[in-house]
Amino acid sequence: MAFLEGSIGVEDLVLLEPLAQESLIKNLQLRYENKEIYTYIGDVVISVNPYQQLPIYGPEFIAKYQDYTFYELKPHIYALANLAYQSLKEQDQDQCILITGESGAGKTEASKLVMSYVAAVCGKGEQVNSVKEQLLQSNPVLEAFGNAKTIRNTNSSRFGKYMDIEFDFKGAPLGGVITNYLLEKSRVVEQLKGERNFHIFYQLLAGADAQLLKALKLQRDTSGYAYLNKEVSTVDGMDDASNFRAVQNAMTVLGFSEEEIQQVLEVTALVLKLGNVELADEFQASGIAASGIRDGQGVGEIGEIAGLNSEELERALCSRTMETTKEKVVTTLTVIQAQYARDALAKNIYSRLFNWIINRINESIKVGTGEKKKVMGVLDIYGFEILLNNSFEQFVINYCNEKLQQVFIELTLKEEQEEYNREGIPWTKVDYFDNGIICNLIEHGQRGILAMLDEECLRPGVVSDSTFLAKLNQLFSKHTHYESKVTQNAQRQYDQTMGLSCFRILHYAGKVMYNVAGFIDKNNDLLFRDLSQTMWRAKHPLLRSLFPEGNPKQASLKRPPTAGTQFKSSVAILMKNLYSKNPNYIRCIKPNEQQQQGHFSSELVEAQVRYLGLLENVRVRRAGYAYRQGYRPFLERYRLLSRSTWPRWSGGDREGVEKVLGELSMAPEELAFGKTKIFIRSPKTLFYLEEQRRLRLQQLATLIQKVYRGWRCRVHYQLMRKSQILISSWFRGNMQKKHYGKMKASAMLIQAFVRGWKARKEYRKYFRSGATLILSDFIYKRMAQKFLLGLKNSLPSTNVLDNKWPAAPYKYFHRANQELQQLFHQWKCKKFRDQLSPKQVEVLREKLCASELFKGKKASYPQSVPLPFRGDYIGLQGNPKLQKLKGGEEGPVLVAETVKKVNRGNGKTSSRIFLLTKGRVILADAKKSQAQIVIGLDRVAGVSVSSLRDGLFSLHLSETSSLGSKGDLLLVSGHVIELLTRLSRAVLDATQRQLPVTVTENFSVKFKESSVAVKVVQGPRGGGDGKLSCKKKGSRCLEVTVQ
């Protein structure tokens, strides 16, 4: 009953209220969006494909579901597998698990999960593990040869599979038998757009080594094969090469010899190469159209693989022998007929190879006939199909699903009726749709559609799909579940969707229109006798064994059974098998066509719910009593609702249940008491019981909380009181001990002082008064004299750079020693300055100014310290033109050197002569020696320079009215430290203000009314010779790179 507590939506649709198609789909969507992909209908599991890996599988979950009954945990496929296995093991009842659904709904994965669960719980042992491994390893082999990528699913099973797993009396697996149904062999020669051929072809080409490919005469490129879709050669998330190795390993585990594996791969390669056999038009001497092989190389390679003469194979492909009891007639085939024969051969070879593989697997996993065994069958078969163009394949698939629906309803009703009879509950007849009329329409031995199709295939004369449709129209003109264009016209109905070559059947899941084109050919499924005989003559042992009818000794003129008859017989055997076992159902649903996780298409799911008959299933389950449970678990869950049964009940389980329900005043028609179970008619009654139980649990929880809190408070109080008493006693004792210790120490201290005072008083009369002070003063003075005399003899040199100084002999003289060291250093410095000439003093002042401006800020400063400031770097004394520029009243030129002026518009540089006097800065043309820009020092507002090894600097002007100036100047100097030092001192002397020198890599240069941002960056070589390269970045940014 755990499904009623904390669940998302309704976990069992039998309890869904209200019961309608819309509410059922909304419930599935709610659970799917919360990653709850499993839902029950009684003991039927609905599985919605999540298209992602969910953390709800593995050994931990297998162990959990193994220990609980079906309804005690959340819905899961493990719960159904456990129910089937336990019923098989404990009740000695054969089981079958029917897995149905559309392509892409997750049927194959569901069957794997069932088998993995059974393998995990069915015992251990070397022999048992070997059998389990063989059963599990059959999956990759069957998937490789029977699965393909379709538009709807990347790993779609293109055949129906029924596996009987056989167990001994202890529940250990002994082996199994696999039966396959209707392999889609037409996929071998043709695939829809966006689909692939069977996986094995791509796995072989991707995973085989070069030696194997050479032996099979194959090339790795898939585009070179006509039978493979060139648009889709790979599938996302699927590694064909590793899957091929897994298939080889699985075949080895299943007992295939190396020779058998090689032969299987050779036959597979032969099918691929058949598609590349090109046929060309030829004409006989009589002018009759014939056909021939365009290129004999492909036929020759096929002949080498098969052990055939290429001419014999060509003759079988391009001609046909018509044989009667009296004579043989050889006729040539046209190109179209020869292509049909070639494709029919390829399909037959692959189909027979697939059957051979299944038979070979059955030989490996079969059980001895003498052993008594129990059986669990797993049916993984295609679901109901309604495509845009439905043909013969969809017709037989839907016929099979009609039969399965018939089994499902009949066995469900039978199970319900048997349970009612066991419990002594009156059984009332349930009204439901009996699809027997549809099954009879298709399978009737004389007047069914399949019988008419066989009759049309066998009768002499002109036979076509149109004559077959005409016969159906005549026979079923008044059938309520059949209609066509002819029957509609007869009833004066107009249906634009109905084609002239189509008929429609009203299935239990809805109307399906079938196109009869190809029905006759697909039902005949003929392979020319020439091809069978040729294949039998092959020296390849496996290929030869696939065509026993080609043996002349076994040759028969009897027509082989049609595909429809074979499928009908297979379905009949399957139905007989299912009726003999206890059925368990897994209904798989595909939530969307795009295979996207988390996306739920209500329209698509609604169609599948209708196809699977889920609503009909729920109605059948709810026809009598919607819910039933054994007396003991029911009493254990609800006995708290009655004061008579809570908290203890000593009577019988049934009496207890009657007591509980009697006190709740339940309506008698809502209840029925069986022999071992209580039956409840409507879900509302069960929900009422759950609501009463929830309220009662809240009351009991409140009571338990009250008692628990009281007990916890009492225990806490007693602990606190006990702790407080203990802490108080220890605290008082400790306080007294400390108090006593302080008193004792004080008394001893007082005693010591008193005794000392008495002793000093007694001995004072024997000494001179003040002797101690005199002695201490003498000793201190003597120590100071010794310290100073020793310092005199150990003074360091008078070099101003020598910082050595003797340490004080006593800590008491430490401060005095520091003062003396400072005085001595100041004296040395004064003596050094007195020896300097005025010119040397000026040089040192300039170096000091440079240190204050650039020390620790500019990377090129340390290299400038030992170099003297020359000032004149252009030979000013020998150039009269340049001497005229400074004027007569300005005094000497402080700096004269050649600089580079940076153009702010494009970053290019041009040489200029830079002259600095005591009042002005002059920039002159280097060639003409004419002043271009003259700036008074009072107009210089500041200087910006970078911290790198470059000579770039900017003169920021307070006004732009100076001669020739258009704004701030951006210059490059080879002696930037000297130039800016002397400029700073000249501005200070001229204007009595300190020139602001800013060291930064990002500054702005004014230009008329706008500005340009300059950014200086270090080049990749880092720390080079300081060369610059300027690059304009947009209209307002200049990037300067220092190499």
Is 580 an annotated catalytic residue? Answer: no
Closest CA to 171 of 90, 63, 62: 90
pLDDT of 383 > 80? The answer is no
Kindly state the tokens that stand for 162: 């029924």
pLDDT of 843 reads 83
Identified catalytic residue from 47, 103, 364, 515: 103
pLDDT of 243 reads 93
pLDDT of 6 reads 65
pLDDT of 3 reads 43
**pLDDT tens column, 91-120:** 778 889 988 887 788 888 898 898 888 888
Identified catalytic residue from 39, 116, 157, 944: 157
Q: Are 174 and 187 in contact (CB under 8 A)?
A: no
**pLDDT tens column, 137-158:** 888 999 999 999 888 788 888 8
Identified catalytic residue from 282, 312, 385, 1039: 385
The DSSP string of 431-442 is: P---THHHHHHH
Is 362 an annotated catalytic residue? Answer: no
The whole-model pTM stands at 0.62
Is 662 an annotated catalytic residue? Answer: no
pLDDT of 4 > 70? The answer is no
Q: How confident is the model at residue 131 (pLDDT cuts 50, 70, 90)?
A: confident
pLDDT of 2 reads 39
**pLDDT tens column, 878-895:** 777 777 777 665 678 888
pLDDT of 961 reads 46
Q: What percent of the chain has pLDDT over 90?
A: 21
Q: Where are the beta strands (DSSP E) in 805-958?
A: 895-902, 909-916, 920-925, 931-936, 940-945, 952-957
Is 103 an annotated catalytic residue? Answer: yes
pLDDT of 32 reads 93
pLDDT of 371 reads 66
When pLDDT is averaged across residues 668-684 and rounded to a whole number, the result is 82
pLDDT of 1 > 50? The answer is no
Is 157 an annotated catalytic residue? Answer: yes
pLDDT top residue among 999 and 533: 999
Task: Please say whether the dihedral angle defined by the alpha carbons of residues 963, 965, 970 and 972, taken in this order, is positive or negative.
Answer: negative
Q: How confident is the model at residue 1026 (pLDDT cuts 50, 70, 90)?
A: low
Across 65-74, 198-207, 406-415, which has the greatest mean pLDDT? 198-207
pLDDT of 558 reads 66
Question: What does the alpha-carbon distance between residue 398 and residue 508 come to, in Å, rounded to a whole number?
Answer: 10
pLDDT of 996 reads 92
When pLDDT is averaged across residues 194-203 and rounded to a whole number, the result is 92
- Give the distance between the most distant pair of CA atoms in the chain: 170
pLDDT of 5 > 70? The answer is no
pLDDT of 381 reads 80
Question: What does the alpha-carbon distance between residue 92 and residue 449 come to, in Å, rounded to a whole number?
Answer: 40
Is 797 an annotated catalytic residue? Answer: no
The DSSP string of 79-134 is: HHHHHHHHHHHHS---EEEEEEE-TTSSHHHHHHHHHHHHHHHS---HHHHHHHHH
**Candidate from 341-345, 597-601, 927-931, 1012-1016 with smallest mean pLDDT:** 927-931
**pLDDT tens column, 448-460:** 999 998 888 888 7
pLDDT of 330 > 80? The answer is no
**pLDDT tens column, 55-97:** 999 889 999 988 777 777 889 999 999 988 888 887 778 889 9
Identified catalytic residue from 82, 139, 153, 532: 153
Q: Please, what is the average pLDDT of the chain?
A: 85
Question: What does the alpha-carbon distance between residue 269 and residue 21 come to, in Å, rounded to a whole number?
Answer: 50
pLDDT of 729 reads 93
When pLDDT is averaged across residues 835-850 and rounded to a whole number, the result is 83
pLDDT of 863 reads 86
**pLDDT tens column, 617-626:** 787 777 677 7
pLDDT of 167 reads 86
Question: What does the alpha-carbon distance between residue 347 and residue 361 come to, in Å, rounded to a whole number?
Answer: 21
Enclosing H/E stretch for 173 = strand 173-181
Q: Are 970 and 944 in contact (CB under 8 A)?
A: no
Identified catalytic residue from 156, 515, 617, 984: 156
Q: How confident is the model at residue 374 (pLDDT cuts 50, 70, 90)?
A: confident
pLDDT of 791 reads 83
When pLDDT is averaged across residues 1000-1005 and rounded to a whole number, the result is 90
Is 598 an annotated catalytic residue? Answer: no
When pLDDT is averaged across residues 349-374 and rounded to a whole number, the result is 85
**pLDDT tens column, 515-572:** 999 888 888 877 778 888 888 888 999 999 988 887 777 666 567 788 888 888 888 8
Q: Where are the beta strands (DSSP E) in 633-777?
A: 671-673, 677-680
pLDDT of 636 > 60? The answer is yes
pLDDT of 890 reads 62
Question: What does the alpha-carbon distance between residue 540 and residue 378 come to, in Å, rounded to a whole number?
Answer: 35
Q: Are 374 and 209 in contact (CB under 8 A)?
A: no
